[in-house]
Structure 1
Amino acid sequence: MTRYLAADLHFDHAEVLGYTDRPFASIGEMNDRLLDNWNAVVDPDDEVIYLGDLVVPSEPTTVRRWLRRLNGEITFVVGDHDEGVRRTRAVTARREYRFEAGGYRFLCVHDPAEAPADRTDWLIHGHHHDMRPDEFPFVDPGNRRSNVSVELTGYEPVPVAELIDYIRQGKRLRTRPS
Structure 2
Amino acid sequence: MSSTFFTADTHFGHRSVLSMCNRPFANIDDHDRVMIENWNAVVRPGDTIYHLGDFAYRCGPQQTRTVFDQLNGEKHLVVGNHDFRNETQHLPWASINELIEVEVEGTTFVLCHYGLRSWRNMRRGAVNLFGHSHGRLPGTNQCIDVGVDNVGYVPVDAQTIRARLAELPQLIFLDYTDDEPAMMLPTSANV
Q: Does the 8 A contact of 1:59 with 1:85 survive in 2?
A: no
Deviation at 1:136, TM superposition (A): 2.6
Show the counterpart of 1:149.
147
Deviation at 1:85, TM superposition (A): 2.3
What secondary structure, in the 3-state scheme, does the structure 2 residue paired with 1:152 have? coil
Q: Quick one: higher RCO (CA 8 Å, sep 6+), 1 or 2?
A: 1
Q: Does the 8 A contact of 1:78 with 1:94 survive in 2?
A: yes
| Structure 2 counterpart of 1:172, from 168, 171, 189 | 168
Deviation at 1:152, TM superposition (A): 1.3
Change over 3 Å in CA distance of 1:96–1:60 after alignment to 2: farther
Q: Percent same amino acid at aligned positions?
A: 30
Superposed, 1:101-116 pairs within 5 Å as: 101-112=104-115, 115=116
What secondary structure, in the 3-state scheme, does the structure 2 residue paired with 1:81 have? helix
Q: Does the 8 A contact of 1:47 with 1:72 survive in 2?
A: yes
TM-score normalised to structure 1 length: 0.82
Aligned equivalents of 2:13, 2:61: Cα separation in 1 = 14
Deviation at 1:118, TM superposition (A): 4.7
Show the counterpart of 1:128.
133
Task: Tell me how many residue pairs correspond in the alignment.
Answer: 161
Q: Which deviations, in whole Å up to 9, do the C-alpha atoms of 1:135-166 show, x marking residues without a partner?
A: 334xx21xx20101101111110112221233
| Structure 1 counterpart of 2:158, from 157, 160, 163 | 160
Q: Does the 8 A contact of 2:35 with 2:153 survive in 1?
A: yes
Q: Which deviations, in whole Å up to 9, do the C-alpha atoms of 1:101-150 show, x marking residues without a partner?
A: 343211001112xx4635312100000113x2xx334xx21xx2010110
Superposed, 1:13-162 pairs within 5 Å as: 13-57=14-58, 59-83=60-84, 84-86=87-89, 88-91=90-93, 92-112=95-115, 115=116, 117-119=118-120, 120=122, 121-130=126-135, 132=136, 135-137=137-139, 140-141=140-141, 144-162=142-160
Change over 3 Å in CA distance of 1:166–1:89 after alignment to 2: closer
Q: Does the 8 A contact of 1:85 with 1:93 survive in 2?
A: no
Q: Does the 8 A contact of 2:113 with 2:132 survive in 1?
A: yes
TM-score normalised to structure 2 length: 0.77
Q: CA RMSD for the aligned pairs?
A: 1.9
Aligned equivalents of 2:45, 2:52: Cα separation in 1 = 19
2:156 is matched by which residue type in structure 1?
Answer: V
Q: Which deviates further from its counterpart, 26-35 or 155-164?
A: 155-164
What secondary structure, in the 3-state scheme, does the structure 1 residue paired with 2:75 have? strand
Larger Rg: 2
Q: Is there any run of 5+ residues in structure 1 with no aligned partner, and where? A: 174-178
2:39 is matched by which residue type in structure 1?
Answer: W
Show the counterpart of 1:176.
none
